[in-house]
Amino acid sequence: MSQFRFIILFESSSILYNCMILEIKVFLSKLLEKFERKT
């Protein structure tokens, strides 16, 4: 039972991790876009 809980926790944390990475990528691309427009 505890192993099953761990798997659920791991799955949810990996989803959260992927979302964070996606957010960071979007943020960086927007930042890069602004930087390119300035030059």
| Section 1-6 average pLDDT | 78
Q: What does the pLDDT look like over 11-38, one tens digit per residue?
A: 889 999 999 999 999 999 999 999 998 8
Question: CA of 9: how far to CAs of 5, 15, 30, 32, 38, in Å?
Answer: 6, 10, 32, 34, 44
Please tell me the predicted confidence (pLDDT) of residue 5.
85
Please tell me the predicted confidence (pLDDT) of residue 1.
60
Which residue did the predictor score with more confidence, 21 or 6? 21
Instruction: Label residue 8 by pLDDT band (50, 70, 90).
Output: confident
